[in-house]
Chain A
Amino acid sequence: MRERNARRAALAVLALLASTCAACSATNGSARPDYDPWEPMNRGIFWFNNKADEFVLEPVARGWDFITPRRVQDSVSNIFYNMRFPINTVNNVLQADGRDAGIHIARFMVNTTFGLAGIFDVASDWGLVTQEEDFGQTLGRWGLGPGPYLMVPILGPSTLRDAFRYPVDGFISGIGYTGYGIVFSGAYVVEAVNFRAQNLDTIERAKEASIDYYSAVRNLYLQRRRALINDSNQIPNELNEDLYNADEFEELP
């Protein structure tokens, strides 16, 4: 019963998502800013996330970075990525992408064995390379637009569509259903700290390089997700037209 309600709620949200997106492509066209109707709330959460980062995650990550060599950080990241194998594979299957699903399966087999339980990314050295997948991308592949931009507490930038990845991908990887929830959330903390440690400079520089950090991150996220879903770095035609139009602007004196 509860399950059926949950499913109905999910369908309702999906329908809402589909309709908001019809609306956003209708108003599309020129200079359309990134769709962010919940901006005040999002900015609040973004502020909170940055504070949490500043006072908790970053200091811990600096400590971790201080005591662990780069190679260890890479290995930790490899192990977690290897464990992500079911999420990657199932989503590739849902996207009817047999080739990439095969690559993910091969990667998992190679890295779990030759890579010693995922410590070493041997598969990449062998040319078994493909991108990370998640349920947000799957929904995008199925034709669902991103919907409103959504800043998720602690987890960071997302969209209404992409937020579905958390429960669905969590379900795929068995987290929360195995009774080891605490162990897994502990593992997530380690992954987050390690990831943050690997990106100390990157994030600092991203902050410096942006004039408005909030809209810079939002736009970066939205553009990157679009590229991931299209499996292409090409700017889609409908944006291309507007983005590179300088004709109607007056010349510099």
Chain B
Amino acid sequence: MRMSSKSFLRLGVIAASAIGVAAGAAADGTSPREVVIATTDGVIAVLKDKSLSPDAKREKIEAIVYANVDFDTLSKLVLARNWKTLTPAQQRDFETEFKRHLSVTYGRNIDNYRNEGVVVTGEREEARGDRTVQTKVVRGEGGSDDINVDYRLRPKDGRWYIIDVIVEGVSLVANFRSQFQDIIAGGSAATLIDLLREKNAKGEAIVTPAAVRSRTED
């Protein structure tokens, strides 16, 4: 299938690496820009570390992502109006499975790291007190292969958290929202959670069973 632009299909992989890159340690009081830089640098350092096994890398990246992405807000945003229709238990299940989904699918990109670098190119204020930090993933010379990745951050409990990643204009929140709306419209919230759970189990069986088993047991 021929798609519209050369970069269109590349987005999948990039979106994948971007959310992996959407992480990093940041102390309280750090600016949104610093959160993003610490995040991307932290993930790149893990990716570059040849002494780590893929499983160890995934675990480290996961820790960075979980520390810097606000998954409560993210879960609400991707479910939008449907969020209210979920029972508290379902809300918790959804959040767990959604996190797992991101980890399983994007964890597979760890081996695809090709020495890309990240440069912050700008920052702007958004509605609701949010901030967007604009970055470029730099690949190769000339700049024709650079990918624009924006991070949207929102303050919570005195620090900034990433709540969306926008790759070449494609918001991950919007993309998941559209998928989840379709699934819930054709079934129910329970359908969605089951589907996520099923897909995660299948994905984990393919990727790295050992690492995942140890993690899901705790």
Contacts and interface: CB of A to CB of B under 8 A. Distances in A.
Q: Are A and B genuine complex partners?
A: yes
Interface of A: 30-31, 33-34, 49, 52-53, 57, 77, 81, 121, 124-127, 129, 131-132, 134, 136, 154-158, 162, 188, 191-192, 195-196, 199, 201-203, 205-206, 208-212, 214-216, 218-221, 223-228, 230, 232-235, 237, 239-247, 249-253
Q: How many interface residues does chain B have, given as a range?
A: 35 or more
20 contacts: A77-B6, A121-B142, A121-B144, A132-B5, A134-B4, A136-B4, A156-B2, A156-B3, A158-B4, A162-B4, A201-B112, A208-B108, A211-B199, A220-B175, A228-B169, A233-B134, A233-B169, A243-B173, A246-B76, A252-B91
B142 A127 contact: yes
Interface in B51-79: 72-73, 75-77, 79
A interface: dominant SS:
helix
B8 interface: yes
Given A156-B1, A220-B8, 13 more contacts: A33-B178, A77-B6, A121-B144, A131-B5, A158-B4, A195-B6, A199-B10, A201-B13, A205-B16, A206-B12, A211-B180, A233-B134, A246-B77
A224 B169 contact: yes
Contacts of B180: 211-212
Interface in B82-124: 83-84, 88, 91-92, 95, 101, 105-106, 108-109, 112
Interface of B: 1-13, 15-16, 72-73, 75-77, 79-81, 83-84, 88, 91-92, 95, 101, 105-106, 108-109, 112, 126-128, 130, 132, 134, 141-144, 148, 150, 152, 154, 163-164, 166, 168-171, 173-183, 185, 192, 195-196, 199, 203
Contact of B72 (A77, A191, A230, A252): A252
Contacts of B143: 124, 127, 129
B1 A49 contact: yes
B169 A30 contact: no
A125 B141 contact: yes
A235 B142 contact: no
B179 A216 contact: yes
Contact of A252 (B88, B105, B175): B88
Contacts of B109: 205
B148 A192 contact: no
A192 B183 CA distance: 31
